[in-house]
Amino acid sequence: MTDTPKFRRQIPEERKKEMVEATLRCLEQKGSEGLSVRNISAEAGISIGLINHHYPSKDDLVAAAYEKLATDLLQYVVRLVEQSGGTPRERMSAFFKGYFSSEILDQKILRVWVVFWNMSEKSEKVRQSHDRTYAGFRAQLEQMLCDLVNHPGIPDFNHRLAAIGLSAMLDGLWLEWCLNPATFAPEEGLRICEAWVDGLVSGAFDL
Amino acid sequence: MTDTPKFRRQIPEERKKEMVEATLRCLEQKGSEGLSVRNISAEAGISIGLINHHYPSKDDLVAAAYEKLATDLLQYVVRLVEQSGGTPRERMSAFFKGYFSSEILDQKILRVWVVFWNMSEKSEKVRQSHDRTYAGFRAQLEQMLCDLVNHPGIPDFNHRLAAIGLSAMLDGLWLEWCLNPATFAPEEGLRICEAWVDGLVSGAFDL
DNA sequence: TCAACTGTTGAACATTCGTTCAATTATGAT
DNA sequence: ATCATAATTGAACGAATGTTCAACAGTTGA
């Protein structure tokens, strides 16, 4: 008779991390239908009651999951730019290439995001997390756009509005592709964004 | 004793219409939380059982609600363009003006849309409705962009990709404003789109 | 070796959900 | 007036939900 322990104790910090990751896996697989405490606890290999022991309510766990996914995706795109050397324009292209790769252009992520959007109005934490990470995303774009201008012969423009517009175009393409991948190919989305930047630096925009 | 009838009989067609409208009101008010048959039937002033009498399941009612909202919004923007005379460029501006008005740029609509996005993967009807209305929306944009080119001195471009890009930018701006209206003002979103079109017709885009 | 601590369990509870269906009743034809 | 039709009702049902809490058990330090 091997005496295998019925469970393994863990420090709250690590257990919480596991639960957050399990929550994201559940959301990626089944969207809002996978968000029950029973499904999450099964995915994490823990009991039902443990969730409310570490989190005041389920919504707090989901808010923590939003925080992680949003931060991870932001980090992903930031590293894309950092790792790619070259000119500012080349770095922008590297960013686009990563954005329209299967890492981000993924229907599984939309499944998660839709649940978060649904929560953002009710959960203060989710809304704050959105505002913070989205501001970071736009700041990254604005910095890249700014770098483009710091070269001779490039006309200036309203960096803030340009970042908002580019961010919107990226999000809109991402969303529509996830809802119906037949509408356009990822390479076409990439081309649309490249053309937008080319137009911007050519001074055609009155921004 | 006045003998007020306990209910009023209606032909299925009209009753269904009432239920669809009640469903949309519920979604606008409370999002997915307002989508229960009890809440909908209370809003419509009918009994619980009547929903399943006219619709095989609740999902079919929601799909019908999607169909109506999507069609209504598409009709709204189409009429915006039809009613505005003037040059193609002025009609485009009229369209933008209507799009960034409180009629469409409304957090209530996002509440509804998020629920539909969540359903689109599971419900064949909802997905078909999305594909159809979204194609109509893009076709409208493509026609307007096409009209812009049919004037002398305007360089040509890939109408399909341009429509996809503009559609994405509109959607992205709409979504982000609904999630956080503090990010930018509606007039700024309008300006971003106007600048995009100006850049397009100036030939700055390689589309 | 033995407590003290606390991470962990899972049955139980009160709600809420979508759906069903037998009974009811408004309505139009005869 | 009477009847057949079908629109409407609402109680009932089983399934699923988030949360609670008393009991359990692994871990650690003395």
Which residue shows structure tokens 């397009």?
B200
Residue A33: pLDDT band (50, 70, 90) is very high
Rounded mean pLDDT, B42-61 = 98
> Does residue A3 have a pLDDT over 80?
no
The predicted-structure confidence for B128-149, as pLDDT tens digits, reads as follows 999 999 999 999 999 999 999 8
Spell B118-138 as b/e; 16+ CB within 10 A means b.
Answer: bbbbebebbbebbeebbebbb
In Å, what is the separation between the CA of A1 and the C1' of C10?
24
In Å, what is the separation between the CA of A37 and the C1' of C10?
13
**B204 shares contact with chain A (CB less than 8 Å):** yes
Q: Which CATH architecture has domain B10-55?
A: Orthogonal Bundle (1.10)
**Residue among B172, B204, B207 minimizing CB distance to A172:** B172
The predicted-structure confidence for A117-158, as pLDDT tens digits, reads as follows 999 999 999 999 999 999 999 999 999 999 998 887 777 789
Does the C-beta of B122 come within 7 A of strand C? Answer: no
Cβ <8 Å between A176 and B171: yes
Residue A104 C-alpha, separation from nearest chain B C-alpha, in angstroms: 16
CATH number for the region A62-201 comes to 1.10.357.10
Chain D bases under 7 Å from protein CB? 7-12, 16-22, 25-27
Cβ <8 Å between A204 and B207: no
What's the pLDDT at A106? 97
**B200 shares contact with chain A (CB less than 8 Å):** yes
What's the pLDDT at A205? 87
Cβ <8 Å between A173 and B168: yes
Does the C-beta of A7 come within 7 A of strand C? Answer: yes
Enumerate the residues of chain B whose CB falls inside 8 A of the CB of residue A193.
Answer: 165
Domain residue spans in chain B?
A: 10-55, 65-201
A120: tokens are 């953002």
A60: tokens are 């707090």
What's the pLDDT at A1? 45
Residue B207 C-alpha, separation from nearest chain A C-alpha, in angstroms: 7
Cβ <8 Å between A188 and B131: no
Cα separation, A44 vs A65, whole angstroms: 14
> Does residue B3 have a pLDDT over 80?
no
Cα separation, A114 vs B185, whole angstroms: 24
Q: Which of residues 18-47 of A touch B (CB under 8 A)?
A: 31-32
∠ CA(A8), CA(A27), CA(A124), 5° rounding?
Answer: 95
Rounded mean pLDDT, A58-77 = 96
Q: DSSP per residue over A42-73, as a string? A: HHHT--THHHHHHSSSHHHHHHHHHHHHHHHH
The mean predicted confidence, pLDDT, of chain A is 94
Q: Check residue A127 and report its DSSP letter.
A: H
> Does residue B29 have a pLDDT over 70?
yes
What's the pLDDT at A2? 52
Helices A159-179 and A186-201 meet at what angle, rounded to 10?
170
What's the pLDDT at B153? 77
Enumerate the residues of chain A whose CB falls inside 8 A of the CB of residue B199.
Answer: 199-200, 204-205
**C1' nearest to CA of B59: which nucleotide?**
C18
Helices A124-149 and A107-120 meet at what angle, rounded to 10?
120
Residue B2: pLDDT band (50, 70, 90) is low
Q: Which residue of B has its CA nearest to A181?
A: B131
Residue type, A131: D
Cβ <8 Å between B192 and A134: no
Q: Which CATH architecture has domain B65-201?
A: Orthogonal Bundle (1.10)
Rounded mean pLDDT, A162-180 = 98
The predicted-structure confidence for B149-160, as pLDDT tens digits, reads as follows 887 777 778 999
